Amino acid sequence: MAKSNTDQCLAHNDQFAKGQAVHKPTYAGKQPIQPSKHVAVVACMDARLDVEDLLGLQTGEAHIIRNAGGVVTEDAIRSLIISHHLLGTNEIILIHHTRCGMLAFTDDLLKAGLEGDLAAESLLQKATGRKFAGCDKSTTSPTTFHAFRGKIEPLDAPRDAHNTERLQWDVRRGMSSIKNHPWLPSSGTDAVSVRGFIYDVDSGKLEEVSYPGPMGTFG
């Protein structure tokens, strides 16, 4: 089978993790609107991830969709549908990463803290190491923060088996949302492939997440 552009990005990641710069931050000149590698990436907004650098992508080659966690939210799906059907991408890459802030809170805890619950404020302060200022007001929007499932841990905690599994669960959930979406075909001539990865912010390396795989068997 021919190597996919995703495989090429993984080869670039090997070079990146060894300290080689594959992405060239130069103005590339006039280019078509369609991403030339037909790749769309969904990645966390974390400041330690330079997505173009770690995948060795040049300007004009890929769509890059970022949010807190790199979660496949309804809005990410919206972008992916436009990316595929109007702009011709057919390989999706999901990137979560170690030490992600989304491991350090739950939706209920953050909502309670924002609404002014003192116990929640103090827990969030402990998790983040910064003063958490609640707003003492409530609202229904956003309906969810998509915090990662499982027992919360301090912000920026080092990688271990449990937090790695929590990241894998969310990558698999995102892959499932894409693979089962009626407007993102996974077979036929217009098929879109999706592969999920965890980026290790300490080593610079991407590790592939198996799919399907366990969704909650961690002892």
User: Which residues are at the interface with Zn ion (CB under 5 A)?
Assistant: 44, 46, 100
What is the nearest approach in angstroms of Zn ion to the Cβ of residue 46?
4
What is the nearest approach in angstroms of Zn ion to the Cβ of residue 42?
12
Beta strands (DSSP E) in the chain are 39-44, 62-67, 91-97, 193-199, 206-209
Burial of 58 (0-12, 13-18, 19+ CB in 10 A): middle
What is the nearest approach in angstroms of Zn ion to the Cβ of residue 157?
13
The answer to whether residues 94 and 175 touch, using CB atoms and an 8 Å cutoff, is: yes
Tokens of 203: 């080593």
What is the nearest approach in angstroms of Zn ion to the Cβ of residue 85?
28
Tokens of 124: 């969030």
Nearer to Zn ion, 35 or 69 (CB): 69
Task: Write the single-letter amino acid at 173.
Answer: R
Nearer to Zn ion, 49 or 109 (CB): 49
Max distance between CA atoms of the chain, in angstroms, equals 57
Nearer to Zn ion, 44 or 93 (CB): 44
Nearer to Zn ion, 100 or 114 (CB): 100
**CA torsion, ordered 147, 72, 170, 7, to nearest 10 deg:** -140
